[in-house]
Every structure is written in C-alpha cells, then in structure tokens.
Structure 1
Amino acid sequence: MENKETVLVTGGTGFIASYCIIRLLNAGYKVKASVRSLKSTDELQAMLKQGGIASFDNLMVVEANLNNESSWDAAVSGCSYVIHTASPTPNTDAKTDDDFVIPARNGVLFVMRAAQKAGVKRFVLTSAFGAVGYGTSKTTPYTEEDWTEINEIVAPYQKSKTLSEKAAWEFISTEGKGLELAVINPTGVYGPVLSGNFSHSIQPVFQMLNGAVKACPKITSGYVDVRDVAELHFLAMTSPAANSQRFIAVAGQAVSLLDIAKILRKNLGEKAAKVPTKEIPSCLVKIGALFNPKLALVLPYLGSIKEASNEKAKRLLGWKPRSTEEAIVATANSLIHLNLIKK
C-alpha cells in the first residue's frame, strides 16, 4: 500500500480534515497535516487513533497559519496534492463579516500560491453548501451550478465560504499556471466524532441527547456522513474527471430537525430519552430571539427547505454515500461511546 506521494491536509485537527488524513494514510499516502501550533500534535494523534490509525510513520505534523502567508511554503514543500480544509468556523469570536471573510479568502490564496510555486498537481478545496444555496430560494434541488447570492440575510460564515471559493476559481483562471482545482461543498456534516472537541455541525444531535433542546425549530437541511465527505475529497484528488469541478456532498433528501429527533428516538431507545418530540412554532423562536442571541442565529433558516443534489458526485466519481439516518445514528453512538452525553 506504500505510496511515495505526499499530501498536505490543512487544519489537521478539524472534523473533515482528520477523516481525510485517515483515508489517505489507509491508502498508503504520506501526509503532512498542518496545525496552528505543534502543541496540537498529541490531540491529532489521539483523534487518528480513535479513527483506527495504528502507525504515524507516514504522518508529519507541520505548523502553518492562515494569517501568515510565508508559513505555507515549507508546509507545501514536497507535496503532490493539497486538501485545504482549514477555514474560520462559526464558533470563533468573530465580530464582523470581515473577521470571517478576510482570513478565509486570504488563507485560500496563501495556500494556493504556495502550492502553485511548489508544483502541486491538484488542489482540493473544502468549501461548503454555504457557497451554493443561500441568499436564494428554489423549488428544485440546488446543484453545483448554483451560487449563494451575497445579501443582508447571508450569515458571515456562508459569505466567507462563497467569497473564498470564488477567489480560488479566480486564482486558477488568472495565476494557476497548471495547478488543478476541485471543490467539495458539504452540507451539514455528521458521523462519528473522534474527540470531545467536535465540530459545530454536531451540536444539534449533542444538544438533543443532552436535553438542552426542548422543541425543534422548523429547519430542514441536507446532511452527509464525514466518512463520505473524506471519500469525496479522496476521489476529487485522484480522479481525472474531478479537475475544474465542484461537488455537493449530501447523502440524500433534506430532513428537518424533528426528523433527526425521530431518528434518534427510533434507533437509540432509552439513550434518547431527553430528545424532543415536537417542533416549536417559528413565531415563538422569533420572540425568543429578541432575548437570546443564540436563537437569533437560526432566524434566517426558519421555515426554509434546502434540498441539494448529489447526482454529479455519483455520476462523475462513482461516489456512494451512506444514508442520512446512518450518519445521524453514528454521530449519536460516538458521542455516547466517548461519554460526552450526560447520564
């Protein structure tokens, strides 16, 4: 299984990044994982062990920062491919749109410039469905042809993903000089967590199991298992058909938060005793948002149904995602297994 090629995976301790590293190591690649501080090395190795990796002989952890362009030259050196997952996320202390947008856009360009100089073959960018289906509404599923329209209702995170992805495509068209680009646009990412420091996307299931949510807001979205997101990154890196393409990562039809609650109750029995059984009227959410900043964050999504198509990834790359139900149950079981749910 030995493969002499090296892949840089940025944001190494992230949810998607860690599974990309697992997929690459299992396929025999050498991996450089970038982290903001080498102090994160033990955390990363513990996560990878939880994911089934027994040897770190083909793993090198390197320090690089999205705010420091010069830090990427050494990180990219010797790499045939880059999988760039690192980006500001909604659980940061960002105060303004620029706190999201500027690091995300600059970070993409810093890593792409370094990759282009180092002779990297292909750059796989982790964008998001946030760059596809916001600021607009559709009665048909969103596809890779769609782009988020930046307006006052688009949240800073989605804005950062949209503008940073557009910057990547612009770089390829103007400065790429042979560097190939493929982009992955995941919907909500579920699947087995590898540590207590888990992604913001896991919060709905975590809060439901812990009884922190008494009723579900009316929000309907697409979801996908993190293992399938990693597989799609791998296919986008290795398949000739993926060059210059973007791919939505979604398991199937969109489901509501209440649907998720029902899946948890059906599959977990007593372990899901605290999971809510009803929806909260949107008017009550709007009133509560006047006093609770966390509730205010969900207002743009109330009542919306974001259907997305996975047809392109399946057709071009042969991608075969798990079901949404399997992803949700795997998320819950991992939280329980790691003793992250209150008894």
Structure 2
Amino acid sequence: MTKTVLLTGVSGYIGLHVAKLLLEDGYHVRGSIRSKSKEKHVRDTLHAASVDTSKLTFVELDLSKDEGWDEAANGSDFVVHVASPFTVANPKSEAEMINPAVEGTLRALHAAEKAKIKRVVLTSSLVSMMGSMKSGTVTPSHWTDINAKDVSTYIKSKTLAEKAAWDFVNSQASTNQMELVVINPGAVYGPPLGDNLTGASMGFIDQMLKGKLPMVPRLAMPMVDVRDVAKLHVLAMTHDGASGQRIIASDSKPHGFADVAQVLKDEGYEGPSTRFAPNLIIRLSALFDREAKGMLSFLGMNVSADNSRTQQLFDWTPISFNKMIADTGAAVKAHQTS
C-alpha cells in the first residue's frame, strides 16, 4: 500500500527537492502551501524536472493558524516539516519570525500526534547548534545560546523551534511515543528546482555572478548541497537508527563566501569577488541595515562540523563543495534575468 507523507513547505527550495525524491520513491505526497496560487508552480516545476506528480496533492496550511492541520495529518504515515520563515535580515519585531517558527512546529507535532503518526522529520538548522560559536567543532550535543551577543532572530527562531519540538516529544506519555528526527543542515546551496532565485542562497549566488557583491564578509561555516539535504530527510523517515537523533547535514570542513567566489571564478564567471569586507564596515552597516545586523552572528565564524554519525548512520558521503557550487552557478546562470 502506498504510504502518504505530509510535506510542509513543499514550494520552497528544500521542500521541492524532498517532494521530488518522495514521488520518485513512490510515496503519495500531501504538500502544504500557504496559497492555492502556488499549486500550479509546484506541479510545473516538478514536471520540468521529469517527476510524475500523479501522487501529489495539496493542502493549504499557515504556520500561524490552526485551520487545516488536523485534516492534513489525518491519514498520513509520516510528517516531514520543512516549512519555516527564513530571511537573513532581522525583522522589526523578533516575534514576526520566532512565533511562526515555534508555533508552526508545534502545530505540525500536535496534528501528527492526533493522527497517531509514528515519526516526524523536522528541518532545523546547524545554527541551532553553532549559532553562538566562533570557532571549534560543532557536534549534535551542542545548543546555541540565544542570549549570546549578536545572535540573529533567525538563529533564535530555529533554536527555539527545535527545542520546542524536543520538549513536546519528550513530554509524551510512554504509551504514545511519537518518534522525532531532526535534520540540521549547514548553509544550503546546490541547484534549485525551477527558476525561483529569490531565496537567500540563490539570491546570493545570483548577485555574485552579476558582479554586484564587490566584497564578501569574512566567515566560514559548514555547507551542504540541497540534494543531500533532501536525501537525508527521506532516509530519516524510515531508518531504524534515526529516531531521536539530531542529524548534522553538512560537510565537515568550513567554507566561506570567498571560497564560493573562487570556485565560481575557476568555472569562468567574471562577476564573483574574493575581496573581504572589513568587519568594521559590516558592523557600522548593522546600525541601520537589518540584513547586515542579521549577519553579525556569523562575522568571524570559522566552525567545523562533526558529521561522522550522519555518515555512518546513512552510509552517506556529502556531495563535494566544488561540485555543489559549480552546479549552483550553472543553474542560477541559466535562469538569470538582467
């Protein structure tokens, strides 16, 4: 019998890749979108990627509203909760980002519990582990100190949402123990499905290829290909050893934006710059620019990741950094407009 997966955030960068793998594996995907207007775009994007969408249906869900969650989860076998607000810029009010992230996660978990779903896979982020670190090696036992200096609203939102998920699952009665697996990706790049370049990662590559980033901030963190992130989500749904795990989804070695630019230059693109922006300029910009303020958490960061558990558990080898960036550059270039 075909298994059904409630996949939230199906129209997003990661969500589309997860949907592709699930549909190719024969699952029925119940994809959540905030507006019915996105349905055609999702289906067309997957069609263009040669994916059969006959087992794809849609439900309208809002992270900030109760309506529809119980019905969406009812009859599903798994929940993969990818949807979460993301922007580098700090919002005017932290609640604008934190509330939907935390409340949306809890809505997904409450609905899954009512539907007696055995396992939920949650997309978190490596920033929930390393957001208050500047150096060293992050492991699955690390947690970000949200009260540390310069921690951005996005980092707080991912950390608080993940903590809320673990608290929810750990507070369940032992007779009704729903399993949780959390995927913690590093900075996500890799070719998008479709032509939407508005996300933070694709927007950054787009601007870099156009020569609109004459300098880059000095930082380095673990990165990961979106195709690997999707693969780990799908594997985590059914792998016996994944239950209760925080899964580091990234390469072990840190890379910076200058490294990204260098790979693109080596691929023959003329726009990217490897020049570093002085930290002082970014700090001064942060006084009046919310995006610069959101970058302060990462300024001067040089953190590695211990991904050994992920590699062993899933027999997984990450797509190389050079291939990830080269493939991203080619995909973005193909969809660029002036």
TM range, smaller chain:
over 0.9
Normalised by the length of structure 1, the TM-score is: 0.92
For the residue of structure 1 that corresponds to 2:66, the secondary structure is: coil
1:219 partnered with 2:210: no
Q: Distance in 2 between matches of 1:297 and 1:85?
A: 22
Amino acid at match of 1:220: A
Query: Unpaired runs of 5+ in structure 1?
Result: none
Cα distance per residue 1:223-244 (max 9 Å; x no partner): 1110100000011111010001
Q: How does 1:9-158 map to 2 (within 5 A)?
A: 9-53=7-51, 55-90=52-87, 94-139=91-136, 141-151=137-147, 152-158=149-155
Cα distance, 1:195 vs structure 2: 3.0
130-139 or 155-164: bigger deviation: 130-139
Q: Distance in 2 between matches of 1:314 and 1:240?
A: 15
Cα distance, 1:328 vs structure 2: 0.9
Equivalent residue for 1:333? 330
Distance 1:25 1:172, change over 3 A: same
For these two proteins, the number of residue pairs brought into alignment is 334
Cα distance, 1:280 vs structure 2: 2.4
Q: Distance in 2 between matches of 1:174 and 1:93?
A: 32
Q: How does 1:314-325 map to 2 (within 5 A)?
A: 314-325=311-322
Cα distance, 1:289 vs structure 2: 4.1
Distance 1:91 1:276, change over 3 A: closer
For the residue of structure 2 that corresponds to 1:297, the secondary structure is: helix
Amino acid at match of 1:67: S
For the residue of structure 2 that corresponds to 1:211, the secondary structure is: coil
Equivalent residue for 2:228? 228
Equivalent residue for 2:238? 238
Q: Distance in 2 between matches of 1:91 and 1:285?
A: 14
Normalised by the length of structure 2, the TM-score is: 0.94
Equivalent residue for 1:209? 209
Query: Unpaired runs of 5+ in structure 2?
Result: none
Q: How does 1:156-235 map to 2 (within 5 A)?
A: 156-175=153-172, 177-198=176-197, 199-235=199-235
Cα distance per residue 1:30-68 (max 9 Å; x no partner): 110000111110111122123331x21111111111112
Aligned-pair Cα RMSD in Å: 1.8
Q: Distance in 2 between matches of 1:93 and 1:142?
A: 24
Equivalent residue for 1:275? 272
Cα distance, 1:293 vs structure 2: 4.2
Equivalent residue for 1:251? 251
Q: Distance in 1 between matches of 2:203 and 2:259?
A: 16
For the residue of structure 2 that corresponds to 1:280, the secondary structure is: coil
Equivalent residue for 1:286? 283
Q: Distance in 2 between matches of 1:88 and 1:293?
A: 16
Cα distance, 1:327 vs structure 2: 1.1
Give the number of the structure with larger relative contact order, counting CA–CA contacts within 8 Å between residues 6 or more apart: 2
Q: Distance in 2 between matches of 1:236 and 1:149?
A: 27
Equivalent residue for 2:296? 299
Distance 1:107 1:92, change over 3 A: farther
| CA contact 2:186–2:223 (8 Å) conserved in 1 | yes
Cα distance, 1:320 vs structure 2: 2.1
